[in-house]
Amino acid sequence: DIGIVLQGCGSATPEVALSNDQLSQVVETSDEWISTRTGIRSRRLASPHLTLATLAAEAGRRALEMAAVNPTDVDLIILATSSPDDLFGSAGQVQAEIGACHAVAFDLTAACSGFIFGLVNAAQFIRMGVYRNVLLIGADFLSRWVDWRDRRTCVLFGDGAGAVLLQAADRDRLHGFAMQSDGTKNCHLTLPFQATPQILVDQTAVGQGTYQPIYMNGQEVYRFAVRRVPEILEKALFHAKKEVGQVDWLLLHQANQRILDAVAQRLHIPAAKVISHMAEYGNTSAASIPLTLDAQVRQGQIQPGDLIASAGFGAGLSWGAAIFEW
Ligand code: ACO
């Protein structure tokens, strides 16, 4: 059987930071409100000329360096994003910037579950023996799609990119996973296209338009997360044949500190094992898990062999978990 290892990780964030205090000059809010309700104190914002592909490529290059894999040896690039530079996909641009000339590259859209869904996708190609080196990148610039007049949402998000290099190996470090979706609750978190009818000839019209800013029913999403995330982690642990007590780190999508605390409490995971990184970066959507992983690995917090229980959740609604060893 072909196993999977995480051979390297990397991340990249825009230089421009916006603190809660600065944000209170944009909308009626305060550092006190934002930090007590979310744990977020600052976020990075992509300047208008920075492309998502460039930041994603930077994160990808760092993962390749750590893994000591040449760009030309990458077989597949999966770019998990909901905010590509180009609706036809931005993975090709990332491939070009990295110089991964032998790779096939495509985008995967699953909002804040994108990294976990990408991990599971990548794993299938490796286990089948089709590809050996897969570069999985989670990157989002939700600052492009936030309504900067809506204090309920604009305080939450930040821009960033994170990557892992997954490799075929004799030893298997990806122990289990589970994924789920509930489209009946789609309306609670959307970034919808809104069409304006354009009449071409008598009976024939097409819908042209643009995307509307992010809409989120915060309380519904909160309730969904604290209920579904513990369930999916238990399911993934079951498939992995691991007990919750064996978990070294709980690495959740960095949406809100209160969600992290509630999930940990339900699973009886002590606070010391809960990785929290949102104070500095906010919710970076598909980037948040690999961005956080990279920071902890480079700080020496996460050590080789540590067992990580990870989960993503968000728009779709969608959610998923993976149990892996670093
Ligand atoms: N500053 C000051 N006041 C605010 C702000 C703000 N930024 N935002 C909302 N308020 C006010 C509201 O207007 C409301 O006042 P009102 O009662 O006079 O109308 C009051 O604060 C409470 O608002 P709620 O929306 O009920 O606040 P809540 O306690 O639910 O917290 C929050 C909001 C933080 C968004 C919470 O619901 C949450 O974390 N939900 C989960 C969201 C999430 O994690 N989403 C991301 C996952 S998916 C993805 O990543 C794409």
Instruction: Specify the residue with its C-alpha closest to ligand 1, atom 48.
Output: 314
Q: What is the pLDDT of residue 249?
A: 98
DSSP states along 137-155:
EEEE-GGGTS-TT-HHHHT
- Residue 189 alpha carbon to ligand 1 centre in Å: 13
Residue with CA at minimum distance from ligand 1 atom 37: 218
Residue 242: per-residue pLDDT: 98
Tell the residue nearest (CA) to atom 11 of ligand 1.
152
Residue nearest to atom 42 of ligand 1 (CA): 218
Mutate to test the pocket of ligand 1, among 140, 154, 219 (most ligand atoms within 8 A of CB): 219
Query: Does 218 contact ligand 1 (Cβ within 6 A)?
Result: yes
pLDDT tens column, 150-166: 999 999 999 999 999 99
Say how many Å lie between the CA of residue 34 and the centre of ligand 1.
9
What was the pLDDT predicted at 109? 98
pLDDT at position 284 is 98
**Model confidence band, residue 71 (pLDDT cutoffs 50, 70, 90):** very high
Q: Determine which one of 112, 133, 188, 256 is catalytic.
A: 112
pLDDT band at 80 (very low <50, low <70, confident <90, very high): very high
112 lines ligand 1 (CB under 6 A): yes
What pLDDT, on a 0 to 100 scale, did the predictor assign at position 263?
98
Predicted confidence (pLDDT) per residue in 236-261, tens digit: 999 999 999 999 999 999 999 999 99
Computed over every residue of the chain, the mean pLDDT equals 97
Distance 12 CA to ligand 1 centre (A): 28
Tell me the pLDDT tens digit for each residue of 271-325. 999 999 999 999 999 999 999 999 999 999 999 999 999 999 999 999 999 999 9
Share of the chain above pLDDT 70, in %: 100
**pLDDT mean over 191-219:** 95
Beta bridge mates, 169: 3
Q: Is the CB of 189 under 6 A from ligand 1?
A: yes
Report the pLDDT averaged over residues 76-88. 98
Judge if the beta carbon of residue 111 lies within 6 A of ligand 1: yes
Residue 255, ligand 1, Cβ within 6 A: yes
The catalytic residue among 20, 253, 256, 277 is 253
State the amino acid at position 254 in one-letter form: Q
- Dihedral sign of CA atoms 118, 119, 121, 125 in order: positive
Cα dihedral 232, 316, 124, 296 in deg (nearest 10): -60
| pLDDT tens-digit map of 14-60 | 999 999 999 999 999 999 999 999 999 999 999 999 999 999 999 99
20, 121, 133, 283: the active-site residue: 283
CA of 274 to the centre of ligand 1 (A): 23
Single pTM value for the model? 0.96
Average pLDDT rounded to a whole number, residues 134-147: 98
CB 113 within 8 A of CB 140: no
- Residue partners of 298: CB distance under 8 A and separation at least 6: none
Regarding the beta carbon of 217 and ligand 1, being less than 6 Å apart is answered no
Looking at the chain, the number of H-run helices and the number of E-run strands are 10, 15
Triad 110, 114, 120: Cα angle to 5°: 115
- Is 253 marked active-site? yes
Confirm if 79 and 96 have CB atoms less than 8 A apart.
Answer: no
In the prediction, which pLDDT does 276 show?
96
